[in-house]
Structure 1
Amino acid sequence: MIKLKHCALLGAIVLAPHTRADSALEYLLTEPHADTAKAQPVLVKDGQVLIKGAGGDANLDLLYTRAQERVIVIDHRHRTLMALDERQFDRLAQQAETFQPLLQGLGEQLGKLTPEQRGKWEQMLGGKVDLGQLAGAAQLPKALNVVNTGVGKQVAGIACQQINVVENKKTRAEFCLADPNRLSLSGDDYATLRSLLGLSERLAAKGRGLAGRFGIKIPAIALNQLEGVPIEMQDLSKDKMGTLTLNRVSSTAVDEALMRVPNGYRNKELDFLK
């Protein structure tokens, strides 16, 4: 899962001056029914963000470049690279518009199939199409409201404000936003993180269902009116992707080699039916 959300890039950022430095934030991901939490480092350096072990998958990294507003999904298991940006999602949206009526009717029919029948249809389609996920791509996003509760908390010794994401009067997610100064983030690193969160929000708005079709979980959560860095994120939706909590933060220098895509990996296109 890809769980960091969701603030639009600021046109200007007013921070107390810091020297330019790298930032390393370590989050702990607690998944449902898991006995132990998994460390999920978030490294920020020179306009890039590397999220290692995204969603608790040790073989999945995300590399974001602010100048290009692009995320590269690095799949170490399959040795592939997949680029995600707004252009890609606009193209997918055009493909989805053609298939939308089919998907809506398909979703109704799939509910009547037994698991065995569904498996046979998937085999007939070459084993490359998950019918359950395909039908899910037809679901339209529901309206979400972001509520500043005014409740203060402490996470890893850092003060933050609790934000609730509400859908149909039910809280679907809880965030806690901290002032970047309390994390000793430089202005450049904070701008890079905000840029990533802003892109995540826009991609979520363009294709929540489509993202799930490709195994990319992007909660549709908009914090664009609120400043700060998420240091605690709890998913309360039906997906139950777990809780992400800041464990520690440092300004230790980040190795430049970590912020490059691996050699020898093949590019993978993001397509609607691949």
Structure 2
Amino acid sequence: MSRTAAAIDRATAAGRAAFIGYLPAGYPDKEQSIAAAVALAEHGADVIEIGIPYSDPVMDGPVIQQATTEVLARGFRIAEVFEIVQAVVEATDAAVLVMTYYNIIDRMGPDEFARRLAAAGGAGAITPDLIPDEAAEWIAAAEAHDLDRVFLSAPTSSPERVAMIAEASRGFVYGVSLMGVTGTRDAVSDAAVQVVEASKAAGAARVCVGLGVSSRSHVEEISRYADGVIVGTVLVAALRDGGPEAVGRTAAQLTGR
């Protein structure tokens, strides 16, 4: 059974949408990144995304880019990701995913990456720049090591593409609420509802919405039609400005828990 799906289903059974929080691996250092993820879980996160710092991100906005640039500048290595995942898994009940551009998986080798992630207790991976029709190696490796694989569906995705994404994903489909990069927004895009509806119609069992979610009102709005709400930038900014304790306070404000 998918650990990510199980975490989302527990939230659904409790009458709420799952809360999914993103933090960069190793920011501002390894110990604080672990503490921040634990604080997230203690204040309502059902699923935690640990982002692998990358030198040329295509989806990350300025707050996350700055954080990951700092991590890379201090000599970050991929091995740290698995250590961080293992520490968070051991300290919390949350399902822990990594979020990574596919070049990192490809360079290590899909099977080796999947093996090491599974050994660390990770639930799976979100691969924002990988499309299902080019993902055969990753899907096979994830299947072999019982890992979830999360693909993204956007407002511009064709019905044929949405169907491929729904079939290839395990855990949930990541519904992109708008075209652009991560960051805070004043309002949730109207396209988010359509992304969820299209994914559900294509057979997706769970659809969680992210990009631009930064307030309690956003969380409440998305919770009315999606299975989960994904928050990143506002949590990274809290970590930057106030450390792990601020991450916990921000998560509590967003979740009401």
- With normalisation by structure 1, the TM-score equals 0.27
Structure with larger RCO (C-alpha < 8 A, sep 6+): 1
Q: Normalized per residue, which structure has more strand?
A: 1
Q: Normalized per residue, which structure has more helix?
A: 2
- With normalisation by structure 2, the TM-score equals 0.28
